[in-house]
Structures are given as structure tokens and as C-alpha cells.
Amino acid sequence: MTDFLLILISTVLVNNFVLVQFLGLCPFMGVSNKLETAMGMSLATTFVLTLSSVCSYLVYTYLLAPLELVYLQTVAFILVIAVVVQFTEMVVHKTSPLLYKLLGIFLPLITTNCAVLGVALLNIRKQNSFVESIGYGFGAAVGFSLALILFSAIRERIAVAEVPVPFRGAAIGMITAGLMSLAFMGFAGLVKF
Amino acid sequence: MDSVLTAIFVLLALALVFGLILGYASVRFKVEGNPIVDQIDAILPQTQCGQCGHPGCRPYAQAIASGEAINKCPPGGQATIDQLAELLNVESIPLDAEHGSEDVRKVAYIREDECIGCTKCIQACPVDAILGAAKQMHTVIVSECTGCDLCVEPCPVDCIDMIPVGTTIGNWKWPAPPSPMQIIATDRSTPSEETA
């Protein structure tokens, strides 16, 4: 249980996927203009990340490792992720039209989110167990959501603030992201993992 | 060589299994559209004129499906209302005058020597029936025009006329046959008359 908690804290705060490991930056910059869409994206990503982390662990442990096909992991994981995303989209479309409307275009976009592939590959490198890979995927997703929602809330405020002309738009966004990243460095050394 | 074959085989098998899962899911989690909306939309005249207060025929079809009045479509006229009433099994009601009156079918006509090429009517046209470019004369594609009147108001030089389309041998149609309920004499009497 302590291990699980440590993994969560480690992935959410100390090794935050976006702000410390710099994975999944494109949705981080792309869909952070509005708080509402950022929340939809976070929700979708959390679901897909956790599920694909587990699925890719299973594929690796029971298919690739016994057959000594470890070098196929990237291709296989991309396949897994694409399937998980498609499957999720179908299920959500059927079971909850409201959620489907809310997530909309973001669901298929997750396929190309590098944090998802990153988590699958890091699971293998860290030699996580089954339960650990669930926690790792979920923690990474929560960390991503935290960063994305905080960042979009800040950007909503920046939109009405008086920003010097040369810094307007993406530039001030990048600077803000850099400052947030600096702030998250404060968590380094909180947990030894 | 063997390891390459294994790799190809494993990837193929993986892709096949995933394909089967997705194929099953697409059947199992198939989403049907609301069929009643499609049926209503098929009855509406597709002029996309917006006189009902909705931005097109399909939104109005959705609104009818969720309980809005069926008598807000002037281009369709009484015939459309009767068909809608039959489909939805409700009482047929006269056209709501608030949304416009039923009229003979018209098409827009641009008096081309007066047109200044402002493109305002092109933007207003819901069915893209007006052809032209900025500072070039515009004209109406008659076969596309639904006669919805929306282009008349934005024209700054008032050079658009709505011309009624007369019946010619090209567009004359047989009158619609009476509904089955009207053919048999005993069906025509309503239950209320029988009790009276």
C-alpha cells in the first residue's frame, strides 16, 4: 500500500510527466486555452492512460518477453494504445452520449499523446509489476490532468491580463509553462523513488 | 530468419486479435441515430430558410421530435403539416401565421445589370444557390434555389426579385392521391360522429 502511494506521489508531483519529464507537451499547449476543454481532455486521458498502461504491460509480459521480441515493444505498444483509444471511444459513445459530447475530438487525439507511449515504455524500464503499472499509469494521468487544469486556469487569466505585445499568445504560454515547471522542481527530493 | 518470421507472425496475430475486438465492439456498441428525427427531416421541405426560428430543417426536425409545434414551416405549407401530423399521430393544425404564410413556389432572380457584386446575398444563401465573386455580377442557380427569401433583405441595391414559378409542362405533377383513410366511405366518418 505504501509502495502504491509512493508511486502515486512520485508520478503526480515529483516526476510529473508534463512539467518534469516533458512528455505530452502538445495537448498541454494545445488544449489549455479553456478550462472546460482542459477538463474534458484530462478525463479522457486519465481513462486511456490507465487502461493502456495495463494493457501494454500485459502484452509485454505475456507475449513479447517470452518470445524474446522485446525490440517490437514500441510498435506493439502503439498498436495497443490505438486500440484502447478506439475501444474507449466506442464504449463512451454508446454508454454516455453526454460524456462523448464533452470529450468530442479529444478522445482520438490521445492516440498521439506521447505521454501514453512514454508511460508504457517506462513501465518496462522500471520493471513495474502488474499493480505497480496500474498505479504508474493512473498517477501519470493524474499528474497530466493536474498540470493541464492548472495551466489552463492560468491561461484563462492571462487572456484578460495586459501582456506586452511581443509576448502575446503562445509566447506567454511557453513562459508560464516554464515557470510552472520550475515550481514543480520544488517537489524534487520529496520522495526517493 | 526464424526470429523475423516469429516477429511478423506475432504482430499479425496481435493486429488480428485487436481487429476482432474492435469489430465486435463496433457491432456491440453500435449507436443508432434517432430514427424519428430522420423521418421528420425527410418530410420537411429542406429549404433551410429558418422561418421556423431554427437554423435549418434538421434542427427543426429535432425540435419537433422533442415536442415543438408542427405548424411553423411556411414553405412546406399545409401539406407538410398534414404529413407530420400523420407521422406523429397528432391532430393536424393550420399554419402558424407568425412564421409566415404559405405561398406559391418562387425563385430568386438577380437583375444582373444592377448587381454591384457585394457578395452579401451569397453569404445569406443557405443552400449556396448564388454564384458570383466580389465585384463580379452574381446570378442564381434556379434549380438550386429554394425560394426562401433570405437573400432579398441583405441586398444593398434591392436588385433581387422573387419570381413565382408557374406550372409548366416541365414541372407539372399529378395531384397527390388521397390518403387511404379518405377512399373508403365508412373510414371517413370520425368516431365522434358515430356516437352523435
A3 occurs within a structural domain: no
Candidates B112, B117, B111; CA nearest to B135 is: B117
Q: CATH number of the domain that B88 lies in?
A: 1.10.15
- Mean pLDDT (chain A, rounded): 86
Identify the residue with better confidence: B3 or B100: B3
Banded model confidence at residue B146, pLDDT cuts 50, 70, 90: confident
pTM: 0.58
Taking an 8 Å cut-off on Cβ atoms, the answer to whether A64 and B10 are in contact is yes
Interface pTM (ipTM) of the complex?
0.73
Residues, chain A: 193
Taking residue B179's Cβ as centre, other Cβ atoms within 10 Å add up to 11
B122 occurs within a structural domain: yes
B184 occurs within a structural domain: no
Are residues B59 and B88 located together in one domain of the fold? Answer: yes
Angle at B42 between CA B37 and CA B48, to 5 degrees: 90
Chain A contact set for B21 (CB, 8 A): 83, 87
* pLDDT for the residue numbered A29: 84
B7 occurs within a structural domain: no
Distance, first Cα to last Cα, chain A: 15
A193 occurs within a structural domain: no
Are residues B40 and B89 located together in one domain of the fold? Answer: yes
- Grid cell, residue B181, equals 383513410
Phi and psi at residue B151, in whole multiples of 5°?
-85, -15
The minimal CB distance from A83 to the residues B7, B22, B31 is found for: B22
In 3-state terms, what secondary structure has residue B52?
coil
Taking an 8 Å cut-off on Cβ atoms, the answer to whether A94 and B31 are in contact is yes
Q: Which of B12, B14, B34 to mutate to test the interface with A (most CBs of A within 10 A)?
A: B14
Q: Is the pLDDT of residue A184 over 70?
A: yes
Average pLDDT over residues B111-122: 89
Are residues B97 and B115 located together in one domain of the fold? Answer: no
Q: Domain range spanning residue B148?
A: 104-165
B15 lies within 8 A of chain A by CB: yes
Banded model confidence at residue B196, pLDDT cuts 50, 70, 90: very low
* pLDDT for the residue numbered A179: 93
| Residue written as grid cell 437583375 | B111
B65-102 residue pLDDT tens: 888 888 888 888 888 888 888 888 888 888 877 777 77
Distance CA B94, CA B77 (A): 9
Candidates A101, A102, A100, A110; CA nearest to A27 is: A110
Distance CA A24, CA A76 (A): 19
Contacts for B62 with CB less than 8 Å, ≥ 6 apart: B34, B37
Taking an 8 Å cut-off on Cβ atoms, the answer to whether A69 and B7 are in contact is yes
The minimal CB distance from B6 to the residues A67, A87, A93 is found for: A67
Report DSSP state, residue B176.
P
Are residues B39 and B96 located together in one domain of the fold? Answer: yes
- Grid cell, residue B116, equals 454591384
The DSSP code sequence of A61-77 is: IIIITTTT-GGGHHHHH
Average pLDDT over residues B52-61: 84
Are residues B118 and B150 located together in one domain of the fold? Answer: yes
A34 occurs within a structural domain: yes
Are residues B116 and B145 located together in one domain of the fold? Answer: yes
B6 occurs within a structural domain: no
Are residues B41 and B92 located together in one domain of the fold? Answer: yes
A16 occurs within a structural domain: yes
Residues, chain B: 196
How many residue contacts between A and B have a Cβ separation below 8 Å? 43
A1 occurs within a structural domain: no
B177 occurs within a structural domain: no
B191 occurs within a structural domain: no
B120 occurs within a structural domain: yes
A97-145 residue pLDDT tens: 777 766 666 778 788 888 889 999 998 888 888 888 999 999 999 999 9
How far A109 CA lies from chain B's nearest CA (Å)?
Answer: 18
Average pLDDT over residues A48-72: 89
Report DSSP state, residue B139.
E
C-alpha atoms less than 13 angstroms from C-alpha of B173 in its C-beta half-sphere: 4
Are residues B43 and B95 located together in one domain of the fold? Answer: yes
B23 occurs within a structural domain: no
Q: Which of B5, B21, B29, B34 to mutate to test the interface with A (most CBs of A within 10 A)?
A: B29
| Residue written as grid cell 405548424 | B71
* Count of domains observed in chain B: 2
Average pLDDT over residues B14-39: 84
A191 occurs within a structural domain: no
Q: Domain range spanning residue A92?
A: 8-185
* Count of domains observed in chain A: 1
Taking residue B102's Cβ as centre, other Cβ atoms within 10 Å add up to 16
Q: Is the pLDDT of residue B192 over 50?
A: no
